[in-house]
Amino acid sequence: MSLEYHNLMEDIVLQEVDAIMRSGGGCCCDICKTDVVAYALNHLPPHYVSTHKGRMMVKLQSYEMQSHADVVAAVSEAAKVVARSPRHDREE
**What does the pLDDT profile of the chain (92 residues) look like in tens digits?**
566 888 888 988 999 999 999 998 889 999 999 999 999 999 999 988 887 776 777 776 766 767 888 999 999 999 999 999 898 865 44
Question: Which residues have a Cβ under 8 Å from the Cβ of 52 and sit 6 or more positions away?
Answer: none
| pTM for the model | 0.82
Residue 26 Cα distances to 17, 43, 63, 81, 82, angstroms: 12, 20, 26, 10, 9
